[in-house]
Amino acid sequence: MAKMYHRNGHLSVNLLLLLWILFVDCPSVLTELRAGWIGRGSKVEETRAHPYRAPRATKINQDGPTQELSSSAADTMLGDDGTQDHGKILFYRRGYTATIREDATVGETVLTLQAFFKDQRTSAEAANIIYHIKQRKKSEESSDIPFHVDKATGEVRLSRALTPGAYTVTFLGYARDKRQPKNKAVCKVKIRVVNVGRFRFISKKFNGSIEENSVGEINASIKVRNTKVGLPVRYALRNVTPDDGSGFFGINVTTGSVWVFRSLDREYHKRYELNVVAICGEEQDEANLILSVLDVNDNPPRFPYDILRMYVYENVNVSISGETIVNASDIDEGQNAVVRYRILQGARGIIKVEPSSGQLYNRYHIDYERVKKFRLIVAAYSGTLFTTVRVFIHVIDRNDNAPEVPNFEVFYNGLPDDILSGTELARIPARDIDSEGKLRFVILGDAADQQQTDSQVTGKNDLLQVDSLTGTLRFKPKVHRLEVSEENQGSTEVTVFVSDGVHGRTARCRLELTSVSEAMIANSVNVRIPGVTQDEFLQSGGIGKLRMALSELLDAHKLNIFNIREMTEDGHPIVNISFSARNNENGFLSPRQIVNTIFFKRDQLQLLCGLLVIPAEDDRCLYETCGGYQRCMSRKTHTGGSSVSSRNSKSSVTFHGINPSVVQWCECPDPHTNNNCSEPLDFCHSKPCVNGGTCERTDDGYVCVCPLGYAGTNCEMDFERGQCFDGACKHHGVCENQRNGGFKCYCRVGFDGARCEMTARHFPTGAYMAFPTITHRSYMILSLNFSTLQTDGMIMYIGRYSQQHDFLALEIIGSQVAFSFAVGRLIMRVMVGVRGGVSDGNWHVIKLDYRDKIVEVLLDHCATGGEPSSSEDDELSNDPCIAFATQAVDVTTWFLDVNTPLLVGSLPAQQQETRILNEDFIGCIKDVMINNRMLDFAESLFDHNTEPGCPISRYR
């Protein structure tokens, strides 16, 4: 100023005076000058002027936050005199105002609060002023203010995103002397939030999530701020990171919803970043969507190995070592990766697994003789997902058991003159279950409870010897002949001892000896047990079971099984058994009686022994080789040799049998014939029938057809002139001589024949009667009367036990009568019928005439000679009342060969026959005649549920 004064003289003095007036005496003038410097349109609040320093000015920007003016001019107006007092703190303004955009960035400066000391000498003193802000009301928290102030500079900045809209935020600003806290000043601050009106996302980053393996809309909310009403917003995806996920996502162009079109795998990518673009008119904005792929339990645990092996000694009380942990891992996360273990198979109640750790352990001592290897299937579970691994535990054997040797039986069947010295019988069924140790064998002697009443060979052991190394039992050299009791059977018992050098065991050996005689073989029967092998039959105690069941069924005193032989039939095993049975008088039961009993009671036999037993087809004459009218004859003999069944070291039963053979030959019924039976013999040539009887030739002779009032083999019995004689009336009928000559039979109820035969029976469902088989092979006449209401049924049947080859059957099929028969393998069927059918409840008569391989079937006497009636009112039958069938002409040696009982009525439930159409009959049958001889129903072999009599009123 001195320089200015000297250069300008009076001008400098005048300038200083003017400035003093402006700042001290005329503050209003200064205010106007300052307003003009700030500019038109700005608003400046009045402030109290400092007596020594001009206040700073603040420029207000309508389009943005307030900006601070340079204070250098004001600073220069203050002196540097440090001796003056600081004074009270004052704000340059009583109030501050500013504007800010609603979309301002956090941290943006809005305005600056400035305060000074009243007696401030230098600008450095302002550094002792600190600033803070607060709500105008004490109840409001300062945290509600979206701004914060810099304590040192007074700069007010945006602290958080503003709520969109137009509104004003008001609060108080404070300045305080940090050296004297009570020295402070306050001002009012108003900040107006301006609604920008532009289009943009409310955030630059959004978060969303979706479960892996899912498709559909993700869990996220993408929002934009849009004040342009009426203009639609469109959305699009610009980029996807990583790039290989670009084909997985899509966006709804109108709503902004993001969709997943292909399932995502969290184990491949856990996180995707999608760049979303929003467009509204000409404006657009973009934001990032961070998509997290949430884990689901979609991966089963995995084992690092396919097979785990371990070894353990038997009977060692140790848990399986810790190295045998089954360990699986799961690539999922959290609870989805928790693995649990379980044994699915092979543990046998001995091996366990700890569910959480996978540690295997044994609950009990492991016995090598019980299990030599565990084949475990261990599963590792994660939720419902699992994988398995095979675990093999090998058990190491120790010698801790004595040899095993069960009580065993030897059945020896031989011929009376067989030499037994040194004959091998069996091997002692012993084994060492620990190892293949060397066993030693010795016979100790007879069993302590040995009885001496059943056999001549019972007593001290003078029969058997044993090889000490192999355990083979043989007859002693001094045993030469098989000598047994009158019943051809005897038994003995010895005790054997087996040792492995450390342990030893004893067992009982029962020897049963049977002398098979010619009579035993001649009266024997063969039966078959299908579906079992020879060893299965023997080792299951089949001999004892079958013998006991047959003895009870046949009421036999003694039953001898002398041969067991395994065969195959249609690829399946079948056991053939030969046996004979004796009655209480020690006589043999006839083979026919045995076979018939088994045939009809095989269900009962199966219940008794647990085996299906059927009679065997052992007749060689089934395939005939005899020429002309010679008969095939056969008999059984023991020329077939011997057989041994189940002679091995593990068998508890050894059976030595005698194979019977069948000898076959041809013979002529009359050895005196000159043509050697090339032609049938005519036994009627001698005219044996009297009293007008008609002679009919049969296979084995003749039969007389007697006129009414005569009976007997040759019609010699005359009911008109004869007298009563012993046996004239059967079945306890009373014979009475008539006054005018002759006699008459008075019969019990149910017996209505001329000689008190039972001629009629009623057959309900399943009922049948059985009679001895038919032996007529080339000539046979059969007739019967029947009455039924059933349109289908079986009247009569006879065949073979094998249900193959020859048979004949009478059936009702569709209310007409069918006759089926087979001689050999060829099956023939002929039909006969009458008007209206036979299922009318009336009596109908059937007659079969079988001669020289030609069968004639006649129904109801065929009154019209086979020609249907010409009456238009009668219902015609599709079948004639008489029909013929002829056996194949190129077969010259076949005859009718049947061996089962003749069945009248239904088939037994246990018998299945596929060659006929019906197996049941409901109705009445009477007057059955075979070769003109009445079939007496009272003399049947079996009567199953039939009822006496046959009243017609039952049906009509």
Domain boundary among 396, 414, 434: 396
Q: From CA 286, how far away is CA 274, in angstroms rounded?
A: 10
- pLDDT at position 581 is 93
Q: What is the pLDDT of residues 409-424, one digit of tens each?
A: 999 988 887 778 888 8
Share of the chain above pLDDT 70, in %: 78
Q: Is the pLDDT of residue 672 over 60?
A: no
Work out the pLDDT band at 312, boundaries 50, 70, 90: confident
Is there a single domain that holds both residue 892 and residue 908?
yes
Q: From CA 573, how far away is CA 689, in angstroms rounded?
A: 55
- pLDDT at position 879 is 73
Residue 450 lies in a domain: yes
Is there a single domain that holds both residue 391 and residue 416?
no
Q: What is the pLDDT of residues 226-271, one digit of tens each?
A: 766 677 889 999 889 888 888 899 999 988 899 998 889 988 888 9
Q: Is the pLDDT of residue 59 over 50?
A: no
CATH assignment of the domain containing 74 = 2.60.40.60
Q: From CA 810, how far away is CA 832, in angstroms rounded?
A: 11
Is there a single domain that holds both residue 8 and residue 60?
no
- Which range of 112-126, 415-429, 781-795, 899-913 scores highest in mean pLDDT? It is 781-795
Region 687-701: what's the mean pLDDT? Answer: 85
Q: 525, exposed or middle or buried, with CB in 10 Å at 0-12, 13-18, 19+?
A: buried
Judged by average pLDDT, the poorest of 124-128, 550-554, 772-776 is: 772-776
Is there a single domain that holds both residue 623 and residue 726?
no
Closest listed residue to residue 655, CA positions, set 571, 566, 528, 567: 566
Q: From CA 324, how far away is CA 359, in angstroms rounded?
A: 7
DSSP 314-376: TT---PPPTT-B---B--S-GGGG--EEEEEE--TTTEEE-TTT-BEEESSPPPTTT-SEEEE
Region 758-780: what's the mean pLDDT? Answer: 86
Whether residue 242 has a cis bond before it, omega within 30° of 0? yes
Q: Is the pLDDT of residue 143 over 60?
A: no
Q: Is the pLDDT of residue 387 over 70?
A: yes
Residue 621 lies in a domain: yes
Q: From CA 831, how far away is CA 816, in angstroms rounded?
A: 7
How far CA 171 is from CA of 135, 145, 153, 294, in Å, comes to 5, 8, 18, 46
591-600 helix and 542-554 helix, angle to the nearest 10 degrees: 100
Q: Is the pLDDT of residue 278 over 70?
A: yes
Work out the pLDDT band at 786, boundaries 50, 70, 90: very high
Q: From CA 857, how far away is CA 819, in angstroms rounded?
A: 8
- pLDDT at position 795 is 93
Domain boundary among 177, 194, 211: 194
Is there a single domain that holds both residue 456 and residue 528?
no
Residue 19, Ramachandran bin (φ over 0: left; ψ between -120 and 50: alpha; else beta) = alpha
Judged by average pLDDT, the poorest of 129-138, 144-153, 528-537, 919-928 is: 129-138
Strand pairing category for 408-414 and 653-658: parallel
Average pLDDT, the chain: 80
Judged by average pLDDT, the poorest of 648-657, 737-746, 923-932 is: 648-657
- For residue 441, the SS3 value is strand
- pLDDT at position 763 is 94
Region 640-667: what's the mean pLDDT? Answer: 76
Judged by average pLDDT, the poorest of 78-87, 107-116, 419-428 is: 78-87
Domain boundary among 515, 543, 568: 515
Which residues, at least 6 apart from 673, have a Cβ–Cβ distance to it below 8 Å? Answer: 681
Q: Are 749 and 948 in contact (CB under 8 A)?
A: yes
Q: From CA 644, how far away is CA 264, in angstroms rounded?
A: 75
Q: From CA 174, how far away is CA 115, in angstroms rounded?
A: 9
Is there a single domain that holds both residue 549 and residue 667?
yes
Order the strands of the 258-260 sheet from edge to edge.
216-217, 258-260, 249-251
Torsion of CA 463, 468, 473, 475, to 10 degrees: -30
Is there a single domain that holds both residue 57 and residue 189?
yes
Closest listed residue to residue 426, CA positions, set 633, 661, 656: 656
- pLDDT at position 437 is 67
- pLDDT at position 146 is 92
Q: From CA 496, how far away is CA 606, in angstroms rounded?
A: 36
Work out the pLDDT band at 952, boundaries 50, 70, 90: low
Which of the two residues, 625 and 554, has the higher pLDDT score? 554
Which residues, at least 6 apart from 816, have a Cβ–Cβ distance to it below 8 Å? Answer: 831, 832, 833, 834, 837, 838, 877, 878, 879
Tokens 């302590």 sit at which residue? Answer: 448
Work out the pLDDT band at 138, boundaries 50, 70, 90: low
Judged by average pLDDT, the poorest of 32-46, 305-319, 776-790, 812-826 is: 32-46
Tokens 């691994």 sit at which residue? Answer: 389
Q: Are 425 and 474 in contact (CB under 8 A)?
A: yes
Is there a single domain that holds both residue 481 and residue 590?
no
Q: From CA 183, how far away is CA 393, in angstroms rounded?
A: 91
602-609 helix and 542-554 helix, angle to the nearest 10 degrees: 140
- Which range of 150-164, 356-370, 419-433 scores highest in mean pLDDT? It is 150-164
Residue 557 lies in a domain: yes
Strand pairing category for 200-201 and 147-149: unpaired
Strand pairing category for 205-211 and 631-637: unpaired
Q: How many other C-beta atoms lie within 10 A of the C-beta of residue 480?
A: 11
Residue 289 lies in a domain: no
- For residue 948, the SS3 value is strand
Q: Kindly report the CA angle at 49 between 43 and 52, in degrees rounded to 5?
A: 140
Domains contained in the chain, number: 9
Q: From CA 812, how far away is CA 615, in angstroms rounded?
A: 29
Q: Residue 218 corresponds to which amino acid?
A: I
Strand partners, 494: 446, 509
Tokens 């395994």 sit at which residue? Answer: 566
How far CA 675 is from CA of 113, 671, 672, 682, 685, in Å, comes to 157, 10, 9, 12, 16
Tokens 């289908």 sit at which residue? Answer: 792
Residue 285 lies in a domain: no
Q: Are 172 and 135 in contact (CB under 8 A)?
A: yes
User: Tokens at residue 193, please?
Assistant: 């939030």
Torsion of CA 682, 685, 688, 689, to 10 degrees: 90
- For residue 259, the SS3 value is strand
Which of the two residues, 252 and 485, has the higher pLDDT score? 252
Residue 294 lies in a domain: no
Residue 301 lies in a domain: no
Is there a single domain that holds both residue 878 and residue 766?
yes
Residue 834 lies in a domain: yes
- pLDDT at position 624 is 58
Is there a single domain that holds both residue 932 and residue 888?
yes
- pLDDT at position 83 is 39
- pLDDT at position 829 is 86
Is there a single domain that holds both residue 800 and residue 837?
yes
Q: Residue 232 corresponds to which amino acid?
A: P
Tell me the torsion sign for CA atoms 720, 725, 727, 732.
Answer: positive
Host domain of residue 234: 200-279
Q: Is the pLDDT of residue 467 over 70?
A: yes
- pLDDT at position 463 is 84
- The number of angstroms, rounded, from the C-alpha of 497 to the middle of its chain's C-alpha atoms is 48
Q: Is the pLDDT of residue 580 over 80?
A: yes
Tokens 């039979």 sit at which residue? Answer: 745
- pLDDT at position 419 is 77
Q: Kindly report the CA angle at 521 between 518 and 527, in degrees rounded to 5?
A: 180
Closest listed residue to residue 403, CA positions, set 326, 506, 473, 476: 506
Phi, psi of 521, deg, nearest 5: -70, -40
Work out the pLDDT band at 202, boundaries 50, 70, 90: confident
Q: Which helix (H) or strand (E) holds 454?
A: none
Which of the two residues, 312 and 20, has the higher pLDDT score? 312
Is there a single domain that holds both residue 103 and residue 125?
yes
- pLDDT at position 873 is 37
- The H-assigned helical ranges of 121-195 are none
- pLDDT at position 808 is 87
User: Tokens at residue 288, please?
Assistant: 């990032």
CATH assignment of the domain containing 690 = 2.10.25.10
Region 919-924: what's the mean pLDDT? Answer: 92
The model's pTM: 0.53
* Residues counted in the chain: 956
Work out the pLDDT band at 89, boundaries 50, 70, 90: very high
